[in-house]
Chains A and B, each alone.
Chain A
Amino acid sequence: MAELNGITIDENLLKRKIIHVDMDAFYASIEEREHPEFIGKPLVIAHDPRKNGGRGVVATANYEARKLGIHSAMAAQEAYEICPKAIFKAPDFTLYKEVSSQLHEIFHEYTEMIEPIAFDEAYLDVTQNKKEIKSAIQVAHLIQREIYQKLHLTCSTGVSYNKFLAKLASDYNKPAGMTLILPGDVIPFLSSLPIGKFRGVGKKTAPKMIDQGIFTGKELLEKSEVELIQQFGKLGYFLYKRVRGVDDRPVEWQRERKSIGSERTYGKLLMTIDEVETQLRYIASLVSETLNKQQKHGKTLVIKVRYQDFTTLTKRLTLDEFIRNDAATIYFYGRQIFDEILGAEKGIRLLGLTMTNLAPIGFENMKLPLFEKKVLNQPL
């Protein structure tokens, strides 16, 4: 057992070497790599608002555009108003996904313990690594260099003994930076950190914190554990630990998928039950294929419908036993749940089926051959 800032923890937690890799303006950088003429100009990854009547949102923007105040999740129209000269490039997710898997190939040279967060972000546990390098800083440098040499992209890395600090560290010096946080650095580093930068403190909680006089980690440190739990519940419980540099979450490299699903968007809206049935059959076949590939089955089927006016409904059906992995069965239940939602008259722009409550097909409850004519007159 060890003690860290007043909290007793397992000393092995302090011996971990965790790297958070965060690609710098990932989508925008890939586009600059593919289109060198974009370099040095404000670049916005979004459908051009002049061409589609102003719909759409910004997926990301390069650093030139960010300096002007353009950021992700902003309406593309708004970005256009800020900078009419900016280049608008429609996102190419197929390409980004491909680059992301190249990125993972590089990670796998160092460790199998990789927890992907998004296409452009991952935690790596390099406490034990394939290259048997003791220094995590050296591993981080090698990864950064290899990504640059092989993919011509830059990333920022954060190195620490837990995920919370590694993530804050990678954000500290962007782009192409590297930051190391050791147990002794925790209090000075977190004391000056604005409260909104603590994970879990978002738009809703930040004003409440500020009301309590908590502006940075410094004031957070002054609150007692019980006070924080009383005021912020589970979040308070974790913040008390985090601000003292304690985070025992492992890098979840074997994380299982919680659900398997498929959805389709339709340019031409689905207006009739016939069209819905055809599409549901198709989607059910995709879901069943993926389930079979992954050797999973589930007990809960969820249907998702988005209407023309963007109202979105989901309905679910849970059975006592696992739903059979075949397209016809999944379609049957999908069709049954669809009946419980409104019809198709409003015009459907998106339809999806997802199987959740998954378990590996590690066992199979055997079935009586009730409907198999061949074995007739043969005892089982």
Chain B
Amino acid sequence: MEFTINRSAFIKQLTDVQRAISSKTTIPILTGIKVVLTASGLLLTGSDADVSIETFLSVEDEANNLTIESTGEIVLPARFFSEIVKKLPQDTFSLTVTDGYQTEITSGSASFNINGLDANNYPHLPEIDTDDNLIFSGSILKQIISQTVIAVSNQESRPILTGVHFVIENGEFLAVATDSHRLSQRKITLQGANDSKYDVIIPGKSLVELSRMIDDSNPDIEMRISENQVLFILGNTSFYSRLLEGNYPDTSRLIPNESATGIEFSAPKLLSAIERASLLSHESRNNVVKLAINAAEQKVVIYSNSPDVGNVEEALEFSNLSGNDLEISFNPDYMKDALRSFGQTEIKVAFTQPLRPFTLVPTEDTTQFIQLITPVRTF
């Protein structure tokens, strides 16, 4: 195997593939990156068994400046290989597999010889044998991920809750995540979904990695789902993730249809106030803030008390307060995560009772995106 390639084009793809490689893997060959050269181009693969990323540098893409002397394949230690390539002196570099798995990397007058591994020992990537695909706009998918992964559980005792539930039905796409203390749900109409029907749970960690790969240059992302794998195709890059097994709990019944008290806030202003209140609550072992709503006086006040440090009280700015008076306590961290997911918008918060979950939705469109938070019961 022998080729020469443009270094910066190569580094860009290498960086994506490296996202899948974990230094903690128990399978030594997975600390490596698989490099396969065919007549049509160069295929790079990285995997930690849960997530696999494959990217293709075509011989026809002029930016790659790829010249092929002889085809072949090799697995190279990912960490050294990427550090070497990033530090090479010239715009292009050459890679030659010489004796056995010895690999020579040269650029200008610099020359490295590193030990590779037999590519035949690299595990086979999952195969997705379906032509049924769904198309997302990159920016929408990125937004959906960021809005839902915040509610994913990080407790392994309920593995199913560590994923985001994707449901595709009747041309509609729904993503929901919950750690049982809060829930986040996003809905969109999916153009071209037609009669596709899917119900899968994708690990939150995989989605976080995927969203890091989506930049402005990825206008469309293709999603394909098989029995136990999902594949996302971003241009020349394929992102595979395992799916979580099991049935996701029915969350639709958890979202209240009615409310007894409703208020509107500016999300960033409410966020700042909650951040101030949580400065002290974090110090206390009870990470709780209390919200007191007085409809008659049109007053909304937030409190937090941390006996060792002190307490804080702030009257909140709001609009359109209606319904019953209410006092409710909650974990400010859940509230902060939820508010950040709304960005710079106006939101509507709806309460039913002090010990019932409450919801946050954008004022402009109350059906597409909802955050639900359970309160804290104090004794």
Residues of A within 8 A of B (CB): 319-321, 329, 332-333, 336, 359, 361-371, 375-380
- B216 interface contact, C-beta 8 A: no
| CB pair A368 B374 closer than 8 Å | yes
Tell which of A336, A365, A367, A371 touches B156, judged by Cβ atoms closer than 8 Å: A336
| CB pair B253 A377 closer than 8 Å | yes
Tell me which residues across on chain B come within 8 A of A359, comparing CB atoms: 285-286
Tell me which residues across on chain A come within 8 A of B178, comparing CB atoms: 368, 370
Closest to B258 in A: A379
Tell me which residues across on chain A come within 8 A of B285, comparing CB atoms: 359
| CB pair B256 A380 closer than 8 Å | yes
Q: What bracket does the count of chain B residues touching chain A fall in?
A: 20 to 34
Tell me which residues across on chain A come within 8 A of B154, comparing CB atoms: 320
| CB pair B254 A332 closer than 8 Å | no
- B377 interface contact, C-beta 8 A: yes
Q: How far is the CA of A327 from the CA of B295 in the complex (A)?
A: 45
In residues 156-187 of chain B, which contact A (Cβ within 8 Å)?
Answer: 156-157, 161, 178, 180-181, 183
- B28 interface contact, C-beta 8 A: no
Tell me which residues across on chain A come within 8 A of B331, comparing CB atoms: 365
Tell me which residues across on chain B come within 8 A of A376, comparing CB atoms: 250, 253
For residue A236, give the distance in angstroms from its CB to the closest CB of chain B: 27
Tell me which residues across on chain B come within 8 A of A319, comparing CB atoms: 155
Scoring A364, A370, A379 by chain B CB atoms within 10 A of each residue's CB, the highest score goes to A370
| CB pair B249 A365 closer than 8 Å | no
| CB pair A363 B256 closer than 8 Å | no
9 additional contacts, CB 8 Å, given A320-B154, A336-B156, A370-B180?
A321-B181, A333-B157, A363-B376, A364-B379, A365-B376, A366-B357, A366-B377, A368-B251, A379-B257
Residues of B within 8 A of A (CB): 154-157, 161, 178, 180-181, 183, 249-251, 253-257, 285-286, 288, 329, 331, 355-357, 372, 374-379
Tell which of A332, A362, A366 touches B286, judged by Cβ atoms closer than 8 Å: A362
Scoring B156, B285, B355, B378 by chain A CB atoms within 10 A of each residue's CB, the highest score goes to B285
**Which 8 pairs between the two chains have the least Cβ-Cβ distance?**
A359-B285, A370-B249, A366-B374, A363-B378, A364-B377, A367-B180, A363-B286, A363-B376
Scoring A364, A366, A367 by chain B CB atoms within 10 A of each residue's CB, the highest score goes to A366
| CB pair A362 B253 closer than 8 Å | no
For residue B251, give the distance in angstroms from its CB to the closest CB of chain A: 7
Tell me which residues across on chain A come within 8 A of B379, comparing CB atoms: 361-364
Give me 6 A-to-B residue pairs in the complex whose CB atoms sit less than 8 angstroms apart, sorted by A's number: A363-B377, A365-B331, A366-B355, A368-B254, A368-B357, A370-B180
Tell which of B157, B255, B375 touches A332, judged by Cβ atoms closer than 8 Å: B157
| CB pair A379 B286 closer than 8 Å | no
Scoring B154, B249, B329, B331 by chain A CB atoms within 10 A of each residue's CB, the highest score goes to B249
| CB pair B378 A362 closer than 8 Å | yes
Closest to A364 in B: B377
| CB pair A371 B249 closer than 8 Å | yes
Tell me which residues across on chain B come within 8 A of A333, comparing CB atoms: 157
| CB pair A364 B256 closer than 8 Å | no
Tell me which residues across on chain B come within 8 A of A365, comparing CB atoms: 181, 331, 374, 376
Tell which of B157, B180, B256 touches A379, judged by Cβ atoms closer than 8 Å: B256
Q: How far is the CA of A320 from the CA of B379 in the complex (A)?
A: 21
For residue B12, give the distance in angstroms from its CB to the closest CB of chain A: 35
Tell me which residues across on chain A come within 8 A of B257, comparing CB atoms: 379
Tell me which residues across on chain A come within 8 A of B378, comparing CB atoms: 362-363
Q: How far is the CA of A367 from the CA of B254 in the complex (A)?
A: 11
CB within 8 Å for A366 and B256 given contacts A332-B157, A336-B156, A376-B250: no
CB within 8 Å for A368 and B286 given contacts A329-B157, A363-B376: no
For residue B21, give the distance in angstroms from its CB to the closest CB of chain A: 22
Q: How far is the CA of A359 from the CA of B308 in the complex (A)?
A: 14
| CB pair A378 B374 closer than 8 Å | no
Tell me which residues across on chain B come within 8 A of A361, comparing CB atoms: 379
For residue A366, give the distance in angstroms from its CB to the closest CB of chain B: 4
For residue A24, give the distance in angstroms from its CB to the closest CB of chain B: 40
Tell which of A320, A364, A375, A377 touches B376, judged by Cβ atoms closer than 8 Å: A364
Q: How far is the CA of A365 from the CA of B251 in the complex (A)?
A: 18
Q: How far is the CA of A377 from the CA of B251 in the complex (A)?
A: 10
Closest to A359 in B: B285
Tell me which residues across on chain A come within 8 A of B256, comparing CB atoms: 379-380
Tell which of B183, B288, B329, B355 touches A368, judged by Cβ atoms closer than 8 Å: B183
| CB pair B253 A380 closer than 8 Å | yes
| CB pair A380 B357 closer than 8 Å | yes
Tell me which residues across on chain B come within 8 A of A368, comparing CB atoms: 178, 180-181, 183, 251, 254, 357, 372, 374
| CB pair B254 A380 closer than 8 Å | yes
Tell me which residues across on chain A come within 8 A of B180, comparing CB atoms: 367-368, 370
Tell me which residues across on chain B come within 8 A of A329, comparing CB atoms: 157
For residue B357, give the distance in angstroms from its CB to the closest CB of chain A: 6
For residue B199, give the distance in angstroms from its CB to the closest CB of chain A: 16
Q: How far is the CA of A379 from the CA of B258 in the complex (A)?
A: 10
Q: How far is the CA of A377 from the CA of B257 in the complex (A)?
A: 13
For residue B60, give the distance in angstroms from its CB to the closest CB of chain A: 49
Q: How far is the CA of A368 from the CA of B153 in the complex (A)?
A: 13
Closest to B330 in A: A365
For residue A81, give the distance in angstroms from its CB to the closest CB of chain B: 52
